Amino acid sequence: MEEISAIDPESGPAFVEELKRISPDFAEYFVGFAFGKIHARTVLEPKFKELIAIASLISIGDGKSHLRLRIQAACRAGATKEEIIEVIIQSVVYVGFTKALIALHIVKEVADECTARPPAAEGSAKH
């Protein structure tokens, strides 16, 4: 839950509670595996994990909630708007302009959040 709260402190825990109401087993798998085992690994800094998530979500065409969430999380983890846009530019070769444009528009919508929010404390990454 700590990893989920770090990504989305406003609605992450509520999302998990909603999953529990639908399927406690699914919620347990989601939290335990995706965040307890994979996202909690300490090899990469949180900022890089979020940039990878952004690239992955662009590639599958997620132009809605998860991509927006991961762009916001990247900002919270210290990624700059320029770094996020560079991920989008680099992805265009593999995913095409349409998917990249969707992502770019989401960056535009949340850009103020990136610049207004101070980067995560340097010591906050688990190593």
Average pLDDT, integer, range 10-28: 89
Owner of token pair 């927006």: 68
Hey, what domains does the chain have and what are their CATH numbers? 1-41 (no CATH), 43-127 (1.20.1290.10)
Question: pLDDT digits over 49-66, tens only?
Answer: 999 999 999 999 876 678
Query: Residue 14: pLDDT band by 50, 70, 90 thresholds?
Result: confident
pLDDT bucket at 13, cuts 50 / 70 / 90: confident
- Of the candidates 84, 123, 127, 87, the one whose C-alpha atom is nearest the C-alpha of residue 107 is 84
Q: Residue 110: pLDDT above 90?
A: no
Task: Specify the 3-state DSSP secondary structure of 42.
Answer: coil
Return the percentage of the chain with pLDDT > 70, whole number.
86
Residue for token pair 């890089």: 48
